[in-house]
Structure 1
């Protein structure tokens, strides 16, 4: 039996077919990224004379420098650097606050249930399925009443409100798998609401925190609709600046600068998924979609 298992071929026709299919899928999805990256390092002469997948005659960083510091995004020609930092000022607080509130909501809805909590969760779940376009007008009126229109704070508030439905869903489904006996034992010993949350629930919540942070970071950073509607002249995120740069009609169309700006806008989310992608999958399989 041992000899038979040792002589068994490692690669079968079926396995080779699976690997070939996966490789084709990877190439299909990475092709646009490769085209963007190669184009961003080409000169305009290279772009006009070659094809999309041709290597540049020389790898130049001129397009990256111009996209960062001097490209025109409408009437201003200061590049995308200011808008890049605007996106961080919007994304970081929105992600942290919506994730923390989602953790609290999930904790309450699973371990401190009250009358009508299931109905409350069901109604809150509707927020995950409401299209962006539906909330534009009421949210604009709310920001006007609060005096937050065209401000970074207002845009952070919008992303917190819209993202809290998703984070609550993730945390609630994760905490369902946490034994309620742990909470009951702590309550018998005299621990209160926040003591149990900080000392028992949070230490168990590492995987789902990673899931929510990656999810929210991607959603907020890549958002265009809320950014173009609720931001002002100096508070626009990089997605709005990228749109303005690509659609500007002044001067010669510089595709290498457009691609470099697109790569700059995509770098944070690419880095997040490269560094933390495996933890995202682990968090999901640890219970983020159970319940």
Structure 2
């Protein structure tokens, strides 16, 4: 009975996995087909021969509006935007969580409660004040402007993650280090950070995914030379000149989503470990 029950569970899980992987299979197989294959074959049919022409065109030759340089410049813009935004917002969240748990002061709980509004605030609400702020800072239509936006919008979430994780670290560690003469930053770098690997992985993956996949801020705050990959993909897919090349569109979609897929494949287990280690407690 136990073996039959386990077989049923595995069968259901396998069917569920196949169901959720079907769109990915369609995208990948379509991207490797020629247009003749697409016209003459079925949606689920395998390509008659592997053809990477669509991938090469999506990367460096497809038209996105009036530009025909593919997704390459948009991809590089996203890399230049995501790396500093993720690292900065994560580090600031770690410092905030450290202060709000180990160096509490009068009103710290109120400040944390107010910061939580940023987690649930609709993104559309901040578009006008954020555009004014970027104008005052001289960062409009630039990659560094996008970095600033994502850092500011990510601090609330990263602070929540680190604060809830650091609650589980005994206060006695900080008190003992203080008695030994260690200061604020020395305790943070030498004691707190070495214990923070699980929550750092959670926050890095969370921030990377959110920022890389963002479209709203990318389309509103970017300029002609600073548009991220999501805006480039939208422009490519919606270009109406010439024959619609579905294989190129599918290849472009996979290229746009590939970094986040790789991050989860490589570091997904650390994400789960970090969550179970206390990232959502408190």
Fold agreement, TM-score > 0.5: yes
- 2:181 is paired with a residue of what secondary structure? coil
Q: 1:226 is matched with which residue: 217, 225, 229?
A: 217
Question: How many residue pairs were aligned?
Answer: 282
Match of 2:207 in 1: 216
Q: Which residue of 1 aligns with 2:163?
A: 172
Alignment of 1:1-291 (within 5 A): 11-13=3-5, 15-291=6-282
Unmatched runs of 5 consecutive residues or more in structure 2: none
Distance in 2 of aligned mates of 1:45 and 1:105: 57
Offset from partner CA, 1:106-139 (integer Å, 9 cap, x none): 0000000010111100110110001111111111
Q: Where in structure 1 do 4 or more consecutive aligned residues deviate above 6 Å?
A: none
Q: Deviations over 1:188-245 (max 9, x none)?
A: 1111100100110000000100000000000000100100000000100011000000
Across the aligned residues of Structure 1 and Structure 2, the Cα RMSD in angstroms comes to 0.9
Give me the whole-angstrom Cα distance separating, in 1, the residues matched to 2:168 and 2:262. 31
Task: Measure how far apart 1:24 and its partner are.
Answer: 2.1
> Secondary structure of 1:36's partner?
helix
Alpha-carbon separation, structure 1, partners of 2:200 and 2:210:
15
SS in structure 1 at match of 2:241: coil
Shift of 1:10: 5.5
